[in-house]
């Protein structure tokens, strides 16, 4: 019995949705399936760059460069990464520049610890709505830069550390985020376990899990959950 390729008969939109759940290495590999698939992967709007899929930094960097060079010029919905930015700073800068130019709306990043790196993220200030940081380190300057993301509605900080060295009074790092509606603080800590203030005029949903602060004060008049 002749095999029927039902997957390739699906509309582009459904194929893009399926490919969006894969890492970019797997997405690009689908280009060998047929002439149609050579074009399909180039229009996927969610890019999941996984360093763990490559044996060397060089191989990963070449892969990222090829994806950004050969995909179509359509806007990007989301970019996620899992690599150590300190070892690949130039590549991270290229990804952020590309993301800003292509209207990225969501970022999921690992180990953001230097203020210079936050500056690169803030290049997406005019489109970014969702930001997820894992194992990040944020000081007062970093929070001030992130508050410049004028469209940011959802912020997730996971296993991250807040540095407020030399400041004894309670800290309110989220007060100046103009449109922040959803905030998740998961396994977060601060130096000296000081008091954390969570305020936001537009904040609707707040999730705090296993915090390591001396105490937390919440001031959010519109908070629902």
- In whole angstroms, give the CA distance from residue 50 to residue 131: 18
Full pLDDT tens readout for the chain, 225 residues: 455 667 777 888 999 999 999 999 999 999 888 888 899 999 999 999 999 899 898 999 999 999 999 999 999 999 999 988 877 888 899 999 999 999 999 999 988 888 889 999 999 999 999 999 999 999 999 999 999 999 999 999 999 999 987 667 788 999 989 899 999 999 999 887 678 999 999 999 999 999 998 899 999 999 998
pTM of the model: 0.92
Angstrom CA distances, 199 to 67, 120, 159, 218, 221, stand at 40, 26, 20, 6, 9
Selected from 1.10.150, 3.60.21, 2.30.30, 3.80.10, the CATH number assigned to the domain covering 75-219 reads 3.80.10
Decide: 105 and 128 in contact? Cβ < 8 Å. yes
């Amino acid at each position: 019995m002749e095999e029927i390729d039902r997957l390739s008969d699906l509309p582009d939109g459904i194929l893009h949705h399926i490919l969006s759940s894969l890492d970019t290495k797997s997405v690009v590999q689908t280009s060998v399936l047929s002439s149609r698939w050579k074009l399909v992967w180039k229009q996927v709007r969610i890019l999941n760059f996984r360093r763990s899929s490559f044996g060397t930094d060089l191989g990963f960097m070449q892969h990222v460069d090829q994806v950004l060079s050969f995909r179509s010029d359509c806007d990007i919905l989301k970019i996620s990464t899992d690599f150590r930015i300190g070892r690949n700073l130039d590549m991270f800068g290229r990804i952020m520049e590309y993301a800003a130019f292509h209207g990225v709306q969501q970022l999921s990043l690992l180990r953001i610890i230097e203020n210079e790196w936050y500056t690169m993220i803030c290049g997406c200030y005019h489109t970014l709505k969702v930001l997820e940081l894992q194992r990040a380190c944020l000081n007062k300057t970093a929070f001030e830069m992130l508050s410049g993301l004028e469209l940011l509605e959802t912020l997730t900080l996971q296993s991250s550390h807040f540095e407020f060295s030399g400041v004894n009074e309670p800290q309110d790092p989220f007060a100046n985020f103009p449109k922040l509606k959803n905030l998740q603080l998961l396994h977060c800590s601060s130096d000296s376990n000081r008091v954390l203030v969570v305020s936001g005029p537009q904040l609707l949903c707040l999730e705090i899990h296993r915090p390591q602060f001396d105490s937390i004060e919440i001031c959010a008049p519109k908070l629902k959950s």
